[in-house]
Amino acid sequence: MRKILILVFLCGILVGCSVTSFNPINSSTDFVASLNTIEPSIDFISNKHKIIQTWKLEAAYTGFTLVSKDYIFLYGYSLNEAVLIQLSTGKKVATYSIHEGSSFAYAVGDSIYVANGKENTLTLLDLKGKEVEKAEAGRYPMSMIADEKYLYVINFKDTFLSVFTLKDLQLVTTWDIPTSSHGLYMNGNELWIGGHGAGSQPNKVIRKYNLQSGQLQGEIEASMMPIGFAQASNGQIYVVSHGSNYVREFTKEGNLMSSIKVGANPFSINTFDDTVVVAGYDDHDVYFLQNGKIINKVSVGKGPFQLITREASK
């Protein structure tokens, strides 16, 4: 009897420690993945606008990013562990021991940049679960974007943007930007920055900064709280403003082309297969837009907060 109990106990331990595995996603499959944060899960939606897989997550993951087209890096603000899951196998390939406070992750090739909003640091990780570099940032680093040389990091609770070298995270410079900024888009020689706005004053503009000097070059009238950018195949820039539920279409020069209400409290926007996808955080739907019109919507898990897209052929 005791032996059986010990066996059962050991099995329990093994199950508890077993590698997290999910249903694999074929490498050739195009998808939009929605990370739902209220009841943590990931929904994979095909280009037919159908959910092809749902991964139920067992921890409070708050963000993810696609790495090298076949990996998903998952992190959570309250978790001290981040994971790398291979899509084609559905298996966890690496575990990262990182401190609580992960606020954003951004991948460039095989490098993963993780911002920590509690410790105000930036960490560069590889695909094997190792920490390569670490740097100090401003208060609450979050939104990130990179060009060939530099990584641009918005310090969400601070009044400046930090520019780091991409390779070894050396701080190059800082630019003055308003606090509560969020959302970055690189438009040629310009860096467009959105944001929520500080205090009770909601932000209603997109600020354009010179990529070399960091000087403010102008503002584009947007709707309330523009925080997400996506460039469509036609070259137009789509901006989601979560305060007003609007998705606005701009030319590269910042001219407004169209405007449409999409979803309830949308945070995330992306492009996918000639469509623009928007996630409504409050209505738990992912919308597909084409030519400034909603052509479809898919119900996903509760609280879709981030969208990533993969187009295998591209």
Binding site for another protein (CB under 8 A): 37, 62, 77, 103, 117, 140, 156-157, 180, 182, 196-197, 199-200, 202, 224-225, 242-245, 261, 263-265, 267, 280-283, 303, 305
> How far is it, in rounded angstroms, from Cα 201 to Cα 154?
19
**Closest to another protein by CB, 41 or 103:** 103
For residues 65 and 105, the answer to whether their CB atoms sit within 8 Å is yes
Residue 309, classed as helix, strand or coil, is strand
**Closest to another protein by CB, 53 or 120:** 120
Question: Whole-number minimum distance, CB 38 to another protein, in Å?
Answer: 8
> How far is it, in rounded angstroms, from Cα 145 to Cα 124?
14
Question: Whole-number minimum distance, CB 298 to another protein, in Å?
Answer: 15
Question: Whole-number minimum distance, CB 292 to another protein, in Å?
Answer: 18
For residue 85, the Cα-to-chain-centroid distance in whole angstroms is 16
Question: Whole-number minimum distance, CB 193 to another protein, in Å?
Answer: 15
Please, which residues bridge with residue 23 across strands?
none
**Closest to another protein by CB, 55 or 156:** 156
Q: What kind and span of H or E run contains 289? A: strand 285-290
**Closest to another protein by CB, 214 or 266:** 266
**Closest to another protein by CB, 44 or 267:** 267
Question: Whole-number minimum distance, CB 37 to another protein, in Å?
Answer: 6
Q: Per-residue b/e over 14-36, b at no fewer than 16 CB within 10 Å? A: eeeeeeeebeebeeebbbbbbbb
Q: Which two tokens stand for residue 314?
A: 């591209």
